[in-house]
């Protein structure tokens, strides 16, 4: 299938313009667009610019507030919550991680949950904001039920991702960003678009049988079997239960739910200030030493290099900053249908 490449800066400008014309507030535009572009630059296409047409539809349908009247309540020196008022999760999540960083700089660590929110894109977008400020960042979100319960034919938890980031000494932060399922649902959707089969360990049909045709997929395999299911439960305790919001089983589906219906997703963020334990330079040096020692370990035959989580994304980002963000031509047609101005972003 034909690929085209998009200049990330020109792409960003046009997406901002489209959202502006839809009367989306400046802060929402900033964070939604930054999240999509940064995520695609890192190669996580399932949570990057591919979501733009869907986000436009949910703006038009009224699922998300264009200018959310969110509220923040601090409940203790290191804790608080945000009512997102059905705003974009990217925007409200950034408000939450900023508040958590402020509190953690005073108290050493802080936690904030967000209720009444919407899809927030890639969890890394938020945790990395903390680590770019020299802190340890953690981000979690629940989602609609897609992960099959052990021994059942049905799903209960969402893909419920976990992200953990730390600053490093000589490079961009360390970043572990993973779904608690084998893959994200958006990855299944990408395989559907591309007409490719999926590995037989990824998904199940409605009867709990493993499938390779992505169109037959109705639920996902947990990462690491029951361990991943348990981690997904932990995320939903942090998010749905602790936020006094909906748990995954009750969250509305992202794509099947009418676009005028809010999904009521919940998020959870935690930040730790390492300077309350050792100097920031010592922490950075210790972290850098750890990742460098892992990378320098003897390689198995046929393995080009030993990597730590986040290394593939860093390599992809370096390539895409030069070559552009790849996108299937038929998906790009959806962008052009929204605005012909996207044509200027095509790398010739």
Q: What is the pLDDT of residue 185?
A: 86
Nearest residue to 174 (alpha-carbon basis) of 165, 161, 183? 165
Residue 293: inside a domain, yes or no? no
- Coil/strand/helix, residue 210: strand
pLDDT tens sequence across 214-238: 999 999 999 999 999 999 999 999 9
pLDDT of 179 over the 80 cut? yes
pLDDT of 348 over the 90 cut? no
pLDDT of 1 over the 80 cut? no
- 233 φψ region: left (φ > 0), alpha (ψ -120 to 50), beta (else): alpha
pLDDT tens sequence across 256-271: 999 999 999 999 999 9
Residue 190: inside a domain, yes or no? no
Residue 305: inside a domain, yes or no? no
pLDDT-derived band at 190 (thresholds 50, 70, 90) equals confident
Residue 250: inside a domain, yes or no? yes
pLDDT tens sequence across 84-98: 999 999 999 999 999
Range of the domain at 128: 3-181+222-279+314-345
**What are the distances in angstroms from CA 209 to CA 192, 203, 223?**
18, 8, 17
pLDDT-derived band at 189 (thresholds 50, 70, 90) equals confident
What is the arithmetic mean of pLDDT over 185-212? 91
Q: What is the pLDDT of residue 184?
A: 84
Q: How many separate domains does the chain show?
A: 1
Residue 240: inside a domain, yes or no? yes
295-323: b or e for each residue (b if 16 or more CB lie within 10 Å)? eeeeeeeeeeeeebebbebbebbeebeee
pLDDT of 172 over the 90 cut? yes
pLDDT of 165 over the 90 cut? yes
155-157 β-sheet, strand order: 155-157, 147-148, 219-220, 203-204, 210-211
% of the chain exceeding 70 in pLDDT: 100
Residue 337: inside a domain, yes or no? yes
Nearest residue to 100 (alpha-carbon basis) of 88, 90, 89, 109? 109
% of the chain exceeding 90 in pLDDT: 95
Contact between residue 68 and residue 32 where contact means Cβ atoms under 8 Å apart: no
Q: What is the pLDDT of residue 187?
A: 85
Residue 125: inside a domain, yes or no? yes
CATH number at residue 143: 3.30.1370.60
Residue 239: inside a domain, yes or no? yes
| H/E segment holding residue 185 | helix 185-194
């Amino acid at each position: 299938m034909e690929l085209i490449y998009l200049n990330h800066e020109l792409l960003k400008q046009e997406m901002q313009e489209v959202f502006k014309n839809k009367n989306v507030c400046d802060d929402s535009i900033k964070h939604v667009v930054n999240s999509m572009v940064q995520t695609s630059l890192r190669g996580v296409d399932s949570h990057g610019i591919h979501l733009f047409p869907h986000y436009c539809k949910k703006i038009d349908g009224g699922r998300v507030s264009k200018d959310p009247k969110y509220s923040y309540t601090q409940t203790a020196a290191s804790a608080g919550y945000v009512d997102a008022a059905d705003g974009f999760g990217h925007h409200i999540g950034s408000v939450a991680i900023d508040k958590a960083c402020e509190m953690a700089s005073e108290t050493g660590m802080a936690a904030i949950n967000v209720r009444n929110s919407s899809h927030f894109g890639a969890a890394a977008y938020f945790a990395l904001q903390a680590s770019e400020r020299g802190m340890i960042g953690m981000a979690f979100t629940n989602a609609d039920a897609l992960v099959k319960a052990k021994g059942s034919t049905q799903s209960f938890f969402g893909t419920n991702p976990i992200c953990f980031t730390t600053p490093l000494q000589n490079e961009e932060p360390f970043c572990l960003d993973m779904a608690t399922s084998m893959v994200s649902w958006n990855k299944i959707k990408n395989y559907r678009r591309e007409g490719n089969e999926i590995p037989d360990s990824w998904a199940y049909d409605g009867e709990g049988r493993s499938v390779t045709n992505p169109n037959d997929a109705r639920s996902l395999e947990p990462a690491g079997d029951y361990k991943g299911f348990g981690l997904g439960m932990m995320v939903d305790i942090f998010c749905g239960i602790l936020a006094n919001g909906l748990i995954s089983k009750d969250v509305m589906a992202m794509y099947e739910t009418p676009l005028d219906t809010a999904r009521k997703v919940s998020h959870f963020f935690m930040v730790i200030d390492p300077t309350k334990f050792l100097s920031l330079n010592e922490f950075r040096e210790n972290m850098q030493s750890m990742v460098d020692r892992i990378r320098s370990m003897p390689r198995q035959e046929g393995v080009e290099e030993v990597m730590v989580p986040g290394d593939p994304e860093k390599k992809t980002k370096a390539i895409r900053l030069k070559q552009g963000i790849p996108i299937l031509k038929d998906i790009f047609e959806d962008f052009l249908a929204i605005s012909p101005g996207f044509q200027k972003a095509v790398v010739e």
